[in-house]
Structure 1
Amino acid sequence: MQGLQVWDEKGKKVLDTSFTTFKILKEVQGINQSEITRTVSFTHPLLAEQTPFYMIKPLMVLSSVGVSVNVQFESTKCTVTFTALNYRYRDFSKTKVIIGVY
């Protein structure tokens, strides 16, 4: 069985999904044109019991357009904050932050 393998900058394998089960807990939608910033928080007991992770599924955009994403884990709570960096265009509604545990 093959899965995703991740190495750190020193060449050490830090993750191998061939032997690990992942559980997706929540998908958080990005901000739209009417928003400058938005914070979403949720709790789940598995965030404290297992190793939490997040992945960002981006929308392809020009390099001059941007959004900052901050994800924080604290015990059973996860907080995701989106902040627009370019105020002329800030529709990142197709961007998602996927929160899970392994």
Structure 2
Amino acid sequence: MPMFAVTLSSAVLSVVAVVRNQAKSLRTWNEARRGYAELCEMDDRTLSDLGLTRSDLRDASATGYFGDPTTALAARVAEREGRRRFARAVTGPSLVPDVDAALPRSVPCM
């Protein structure tokens, strides 16, 4: 009889663990959907401050109903920030013309 009780209790604990994991997944999914809905309600300026555009929101909606659009959006922002850091690190020629070179040179007095 004790072996049956041990087996039954381990089965019950396994079922409880599965239910707990599913509940956690559902809660995480719901929070992500709520966050995505809040992002959709923001104006373009606020989205720009966050590093996002409306087209990013449309692209993130392609994750499907059970997907997490916020993960796709976070990846997009990280990708852009990485490009910005790289762009700052690269040096190039100045876009401002050299004004002194354009002025006529004076002839020294003899």
TM-score (norm 2): 0.21
Higher strand proportion: 1
Larger radius of gyration: 2
